[in-house]
A and B are shown apart, each in its own frame.
Chain A
Amino acid sequence: MKQGAYQETKIRNFHTLLERHPRARAWGETEGTGRQIAPPLRRDGLARPLTPQNSAWGRGSRRRRADHSGTTAATSFVACRRSTGERAAPAPAPEEPAGVTPAVVCIDGNEAAARVAHRLSELIAIYPITPASPMGELADAWSARGRANLWGSVPEVIEMQSEAGAAGVLHGAVLRGALATSFTASQGLLLMLPNMFKIAGELAPLVIHVAARAVATHALSIFGDHSDVMAARTTGFAMLCASSVQEAHDFAAVAHAVSLRARVPFLHFFDGFRTSHELGRVELLEDDDLVALVDEEAILAQRARRLTPDAPVIRGTAQNPDVFFQGREAVSPYYAAVPGIVEEVFARLAARTGRRHGLIDYLGAHDAERVLVLMGSGAGAAEEAIEALVARGERVGLVKLRLFRPFPTAALVAAVPATARAIAVLDRTKEPGAPGEPLYQDVVTAFAESLAAGARIPMPRIVGGRYGLGSKEFTPAMAKGVLDELSREAPLNHFTIGIVDDVSHTSLPWDRDFATDDEGVRALFFGLGSDGTVGAAKSTVQIIAKETALHAQGYFVYDSKKSGALTVSHIRFGPRPIRSTYQIERADFLSVHHFDLFERVDVLERATPGARLLVNSPHAPEQTWHRLPRDVQEQLLAKRIELWAIDADRVAREVGMGNRINTVMQPCFFALSGVLPRDRALEAIRRSIETAYARRGPPVVARNLAAVDRALGELHRVPVPERPTAAFPRRPVVPGDASPFVQRVTARLLEGKGDLLPVSALPADGTFPTGTARYEKRAIAGELPIWDPSICIDCGKCAMACPHAAIRMKVYAQADAPGSGFPSKPFRSREVEHCLLTIQVAPDDCTGCGVCVEVCPARSKSEVRHKALNMEPVAEHRERERECFESFLRIPQLDPVSLDPAIVKNAQTREPLFEFSGACAGCGETPYLKLLSQLFGDRVLIANATGCSSIFGGNLPTTPWTVDAAGRGPAWANSLFEDNAEFGFGMRLALEHHIGEARRLLAGFAPQIGEELARAILDEAGRGDAAIAAQRARIAELKRRLAGFDAPLARRLLSLCDDLVRKSVWLVGGDGWAYDIGAPGLDHVLASGRDVNVLVLDTQVYSNTGGQASKATPRAAVAKFAASGKSVPRKDLGLIASAYGHVYVAQVALGADDSQTLKAFLEADAWPGPSLVIGYSTCIAHGIDMSRSMAHQRDAVRSGFWPLWRYHPGSDPHQHPFQLDSRKRTLSVRAFAETEARFAMLLRSDRARAERLLALAQADADERWRHYTQLAGLERSVPQSTSPGPLAPPAPLVDESTAGEG
Chain B
Amino acid sequence: MADLTTRYLGLALRTPLVASSSPLTGSLDGLRRLEDAGAAGVVLPSLFEEQLTHDAFAAHHALEVGAETFAEARDYLPQLESGDSGLDTYLELLAAAKRALGIPVVASLNGTTLGGWIDYARLLEQAGAAAVELNVYRIAADPAHASADLEAQDLELLRVVRAALRVPLAVKLSPFFTGLAHFARRVVAAGADGLVLFNRFYQPDLDLETLEVVPRLALSRSEDLRLPLRWIAILRRQVGASLAATSGVHGVEDVLKLLLAGADVTMLASALLERGPALVGELERGMASWLDAHEYESVAQMKGSMSQGAVPDPEAFERANYVRTLNSWSSRFRQ
Query: Measuring CB to CB, which residues of chain A are less than 8 angstroms from any residue of chain B?
Result: 130-131, 133-134, 137, 141, 144-145, 222-223, 273, 529-530, 532-535, 556, 558, 560-562, 565, 567, 656, 658, 660, 693-700, 859, 864, 920, 951, 1103-1107, 1118-1120, 1123, 1179-1181, 1183-1184, 1186, 1237-1238, 1240-1241, 1244-1247
Contacts and interface: CB of A to CB of B under 8 A. Distances in A.
Smallest CB-CB A-B distances: 7 pairs: A529-B69, A1106-B73, A697-B56, A1237-B62, A1183-B62, A695-B83, A534-B68
A83 B55 CA distance: 58
A695 B81 contact: yes
Interface in B73-89: 73-87, 89
Contacts of A1241: 59, 62, 77, 80
Contacts of A273: 71
A567 B56 contact: no
A222 B72 contact: yes
Interface string B76-107: 11111111111101000000000000000000
B73 A1105 contact: yes
B31 to A, nearest CB: 16
A1238 B80 CA distance: 11
A222 B71 contact: yes
Contact of A695 (B55, B71, B79): B79
B80 A567 contact: no
Contacts of A1181: 66, 76-77
Given A1107-B76, A1123-B78, A1241-B77, A696 B69 contact: no
6 contacts: A137-B78, A530-B68, A534-B68, A558-B71, A1241-B59, A1244-B85
Most A Cβ at <10 Å: residue of B66, B79, B87, B89: B66
A1184 B81 CA distance: 20
Contacts of B211: 859, 864
A1241 B83 CA distance: 9
B77 A1107 contact: yes
Given A1180-B76, A1244-B55, 11 more contacts: A133-B72, A222-B71, A273-B71, A530-B67, A530-B68, A658-B61, A697-B59, A1103-B76, A1104-B72, A1119-B78, A1237-B77
Contacts of B63: 696, 1183, 1237
Nearest to B92: A1247
B299 to A, nearest CB: 39
Given A535-B68, A562-B69, A700-B56, A1118 B81 contact: no
Contact of A1106 (B59, B64, B76, B82): B76
B183 to A, nearest CB: 30
B53 interface: yes
B66 A660 contact: no
B57 interface: yes
A558 B69 contact: yes
B52 interface: yes
Contact of A1240 (B59, B71, B73, B119): B59
B114 interface: no
Given A558-B71, A699-B56, A1237-B59, A530 B66 contact: yes
A699 B57 contact: yes
Given A859-B211, A1105-B72, A1245 B80 contact: yes
A134 B68 CA distance: 13
A1244 B59 contact: yes
B127 to A, nearest CB: 16
A1245 B62 contact: no
A1245 B72 contact: no
Given A530-B67, A697-B52, A699-B52, A1245 B82 contact: yes
Contacts of A1107: 73, 75-78
A1244 B73 contact: no
Contacts of A558: 68-71
Contacts of B166: none
Contacts of B81: 144-145, 695, 1123, 1245-1246
Contact of A1104 (B61, B73, B83): B73
A141 B83 contact: no
B197 to A, nearest CB: 31
A562 B68 CA distance: 10
Interface string B189-216: 0000000000000000000000100000
Contacts of A1244: 55, 59, 80, 82-86
Contacts of A567: 68-69
Contact of A535 (B53, B56, B67, B83): B67
A1117 to B, nearest CB: 10
Most A Cβ at <10 Å: residue of B58, B89, B119: B58
Most B Cβ at <10 Å: residue of A1105, A1106, A1120: A1106
A561 B72 CA distance: 11
Interface in B164-195: none
A1245 B77 contact: no
A137 B73 CA distance: 11
Contacts of A1240: 58-59
Contacts of B84: 1244-1245, 1247
B11 interface: no
Contacts of B57: 656, 699-700
Nearest to A918: B70
Contacts of A1183: 59, 62-63, 65, 76-77
Contact of A693 (B60, B74, B89): B60
B72 A1180 contact: no
A223 B71 CA distance: 9
B68 A529 contact: yes
B77 A1238 contact: yes
A145 B79 CA distance: 12
A1261 B226 CA distance: 45
A141 B74 CA distance: 15
Contacts of B52: 697, 699
Nearest to A1238: B77
B300 to A, nearest CB: 42
A177 to B, nearest CB: 31
Contacts of A1123: 78, 81
Contacts of B89: 1247
A307 to B, nearest CB: 35
Contacts of A920: 66
Interface string B253-282: 000000000000000000000000000000
A568 B100 CA distance: 56
A693 B73 CA distance: 20
Most B Cβ at <10 Å: residue of A130, A695, A1120: A695
Contacts of A222: 71-72
A851 to B, nearest CB: 15
A1017 B44 CA distance: 78
A1104 to B, nearest CB: 6
B149 to A, nearest CB: 24
A742 to B, nearest CB: 24
Contacts of A859: 211
A748 to B, nearest CB: 20
A565 B70 CA distance: 7
A1118 B70 contact: no
Contacts of A1247: 84, 89
A1237 B75 CA distance: 13
Given A530-B65, A1241-B59, A1245-B84, A130 B78 contact: no
A1044 B73 CA distance: 57
A695 B80 contact: yes
B87 to A, nearest CB: 8
A1225 B77 CA distance: 28
Given A273-B71, A1247-B89, A700 B60 contact: yes
Nearest to B89: A1247
Contacts of A696: 56, 59-60, 63, 80, 83
Contacts of B64: 530, 532, 535, 660
Contacts of B66: 529-530, 562, 920, 1180-1181
Contacts of A131: 71-72
Contacts of B82: 695, 1244-1246
